[in-house]
A and B are shown apart, each in its own frame.
Chain A
Amino acid sequence: MENQMVLAAEGGHNPILPAPAEIIVGFVAFAALLFVLYRYAVPRFEKLYKERSDRIEGGIARAEEAQAEAQRTLEQYKAQLAEARAEAARIRDDARAEGQQILDEMRSQAQEESDRIISQGQAQLAAQRSQVIAELREDLGRQAVDLASKVVGESLEDEARRRGTVDRFLDELDAASAPSTSANS
């Protein structure tokens, strides 16, 4: 019986000779399994992987975005601050310039005013002086003539003579009183 078994083992069954049925069934079973895996399992897992990486990448992207936003705001604030500073400086400069201008204007106005007053006063003074001189001259002439006519007893009616006399007298008077008037005034 043992011999029979050994013979059967050597003759009937060879372990490295494949049975066609096994190859076919194995192939079909594995192909069917591959179909199921490719159709369902793999896409589902891959979708999950993608979602997961999206989630992580999304988080990173959001953080980066937030940082960029903060950076932008900071830049904006800095720019605004610089602008405000420049504005303030500009206003200060303007005010200073304006003040200077006003000061200059007022100074020149005051100067003008004082010049005007002075010149006016001088003109007035000159006018009064010439008026006084004219009046005095006339007055003095008449009185002198009156006096002379009383002294001489005759009217100096001759116009030409009278003018010449008066003028001569006045010139003499001017010459005589010039030092005394400058000393008096």
Chain B
Amino acid sequence: MGALVLSQGGTFEPPGVDSFFLPPIFGGVTKPIVLVVLSAVIVGAYFLIATRNLKLVPGKGQFVAEYIYDFSRNTIARDQIGAQHFRPFIGLIFGLFTFILVNNLFGIIPLIQFPTMAKIGFPIALFIMVYVVIHTVGFRRHGFLGYFKHVMFPPGVPKPVYILLAPIEFLQKFLFQPVALAIRVFAAMFAGHLILLVFTLGGQYLLLEASALLKPVSIVSFAFAILLTFAEALIQVLQAYIFAVLSANFIGAALAQEH
């Protein structure tokens, strides 16, 4: 936003890629970096405090924390990984969901208003973590060659088809699926933020710079910005959920005995 100060000459500069490259606050520290650290602190501190004194019969505060935990544990981790093996991954899935959720929600929280996942570096950091976990778990479970066989030669396919299928499966599991995981949340946040910027800055420009007749149109623009903020809220929650579900799903697939 800082880069998009309205030009003095009154021409509208549409928000673009540069809107995501904010000048550093101090040294090399930029706003997204501060936000990502802040999000980790928020999530960590919240669950530290919320779980300090858990009761068998939850109060209001505990109920919220428990609901989030229960959702990540049972709805995401257990359903995707399977009731047998999901326990070691509860924390990972729980962390992914809450961490991404808070980072995404930063996009619509007033004054913060920047979805950190719109900077590809952060989804990539998470992607690396998940990637390592998925394949470590896979190799550990099936053995080195066994895991490649597990990935590349799914049973129930005529033998000649493997010539085509094996490389595709390999690329799918080791490259496309995990990379898509990172790009999906990045793209959704990037595009969502850009749309909000367009309507907000456009409305601002119309209000300040346009001729008197066009000024009322800015209301439409702001209304859209607000409407889309709600849509964004939904997408942000959804993207956090999707990232967690797919991570759990890949872990479950790597652990599965047979396809």
Contact = CB atoms under 8 A, between A and B. Distances in A.
B18 A37 contact: no
Given A41-B51, A45-B66, A22 B119 contact: yes
A47 B92 CA distance: 18
Contacts, number: 124
B28 A9 contact: no
B7 interface: yes
Given A37-B91, A40-B47, A51 B32 contact: no
Given A9-B16, A41-B69, A23 B44 contact: no
Interface residues of A, number: 41
Interface string A4-32: 01001100111111111111111101111
Nearest to A54: B56
A34 interface: yes
A41 B125 CA distance: 22
B18 A25 contact: no
A42 interface: yes
Contacts of A30: 40, 95, 99, 125-126, 129
B126 A37 contact: no
Question: Which of A16, A20, A37: most chain B CB closer than 10 A?
Answer: A37
B199 to A, nearest CB: 20
Given A8-B18, A27-B128, A2 B11 contact: yes
Contact of B44 (A12, A25, A37): A37
A2 B11 CA distance: 9
Given A41-B94, A45-B51, A17 B120 contact: yes
A27 B128 CA distance: 8
Question: A interface, by DSSP: helix, strand, loop or mixed?
Answer: helix
B121 A18 contact: yes
Question: B interface, by DSSP: helix, strand, loop or mixed?
Answer: helix
A117 interface: no
B125 A23 contact: yes
Given A13-B20, A30-B40, A30-B129, A18 B48 contact: no
A96 to B, nearest CB: 67
A175 B40 CA distance: 154
B99 A21 contact: no
Question: Which of B13, B28, B44, B99: most chain A CB closer than 10 A?
Answer: B44
A107 interface: no
Interface of A: 1-2, 5, 8-9, 12-27, 29-34, 36-38, 40-42, 44-48, 51-52, 55
5 closest residue pairs by CB, A with B: A22-B121, A26-B125, A18-B121, A27-B125, A26-B122
29 contacts: A5-B13, A5-B18, A9-B18, A13-B18, A15-B120, A18-B119, A18-B124, A20-B121, A23-B124, A23-B125, A25-B33, A25-B125, A26-B124, A27-B125, A30-B40, A30-B95, A33-B40, A34-B95, A37-B43, A37-B44, A37-B95, A41-B47, A41-B50, A41-B94, A44-B51, A44-B54, A46-B90, A47-B54, A52-B56
